[in-house]
Amino acid sequence: MNEMKKEIRIKLKNRAIAMALEPVQKRTTSATIGVIAFTLAAETYAIESVFVREVYPLKDFTPLPGVPSYIFGIINVRGQILPVVDLKKFFNLPEKGLGDLNRVIILYDDQMEFGILADVVHGTQDIELEDILTVPPTVTGIGEEYLKGVTKERLIVLNAKRLLSDKSIVVNEEAN
């Protein structure tokens, strides 16, 4: 008798779990990219997750004297020293708000590696390539070359590859 009760309970439980799951949406045939969405000064951006090594909490940082203003500072990521870039400054965006700035998204490819500042990181999601629309730079204030486009939800998709390979972001100063 007890056995049967147990069996019924298991069955009911499994059914409950199955029902609690969100229905899997039917994918269209269009290709998708995985992105990580984050907020920076009241705007929401997205960056391709293949170029993201990790998201790191910003606890402490060391500013450097004499570097361009978009270099926010350097941080210690488990013994590795990593520069952090303030994209707002790099893109010359107006200082729209003072965020919490407590996350660093670490971007990388085989040539380059650095962190970018973020207020809040919302997690990963898939975007269909079809949904990414190109927009004139006046909409975002960011140069076209750094953008993949904007989605219908006004998610600004940054071009991580371009950022990582950008020569103008590299600091290489001679001694006076």
Partner 1 sequence: MDKKDKEFLKRIQETFRIEAEEHLHAFSAGLIELEKTPSKEKVAEIIEVMFREIHSLKGAARSVDQKDIEYVCQPLESIFSSLKRGEITLSPLSFDLFYKTVEWLSKHIVISGSEQTDVFRQTRQELINRLKEMVSGKYFSTLIQEPSATDIEIPCLPQSDITPVTEPGVDLQGNIANTQVVMARIPMSKLDPLLFQAEEMIQAKMAINQQTGELKRLSDELNEWKTETQKWRSRKAAATPELWNELCDNSDMRLNKVEGRITEIISSMERHQHSLDRLVNDHLDAMKQVLMLPVGSLVETFPGMVRKISHEQNKEIDFIISGTELEIDKRILEELKDPLIHLIRNSIDHGIGKPQERILKNKPVRGNITLAFAAKESGQVEITLADDGKGIDKEHILKAAIKSGIISNEYAGKLEPKEVLNLIYQSGVSTSSIITDISGHGLGLSIVQEKVLKLNGKISVESEENAGTTFRILLPMTLATFRGILVMLQEFMFILPTTNVERVMKVEKEDIKTVENHETIRIDDQIISVADLGEVLGLPEHKHAGQGKMEPGSANSNQIRIVVLVSGEDRIAFKVDDLVDEQQVLVKGLGKLLRRVRNISGATILGSGKVVPVLNIPDLMKSAVKTKERKSEVSAGVLFVPKPGKILVAEDSITSRTLIKNILETAGYQVTTSVDGADAFTKARTGDFDIIVSDVDMPKMNGFELTAKIRSDKKLNEIPVVLVTALESREDCEHGIEVGADAYIIKSSFDQTNLLEIIKKLI
Question: Nearest to residue 87, comparing CAs of 137, 34, 41, 52?
Answer: 41
The whole-angstrom separation of Cα 45 and Cα 156 is 5
Site string for partner 1, 65-104 (x = CB under 8 A): xxx---x--xxx--xxxxx-x--------xxxxxxxxx--
3-class DSSP assignment, residue 128: strand
Q: What is the secondary structure of 49-92 as a DSSP string?
A: GGGEEEEEE----B--TTS-TTEEEEEEETTEEEEEE-HHHHTT
Candidate ranges 3-11, 108-116, 135-143, 150-158; the one touching partner 1 (CB under 8 A): 108-116
Whole-number minimum distance, CB 123 to partner 1, in Å? 19
- Tell me: does residue 168 bind partner 1 (CB under 8 A): no
- Tell me: does residue 29 bind partner 1 (CB under 8 A): no
Please work out the total of residues on this chain that contact partner 1, with binding judged by CB under 8 A: 43
Amino acid at the residue 37: A
- Tell me: does residue 167 bind partner 1 (CB under 8 A): no
3-class DSSP assignment, residue 131: helix
- Tell me: does residue 160 bind partner 1 (CB under 8 A): no
| Contact positions vs partner 1 (CB under 8 A) | 42, 58-67, 71, 74-76, 79-83, 85, 94-102, 111-114, 117, 169-176
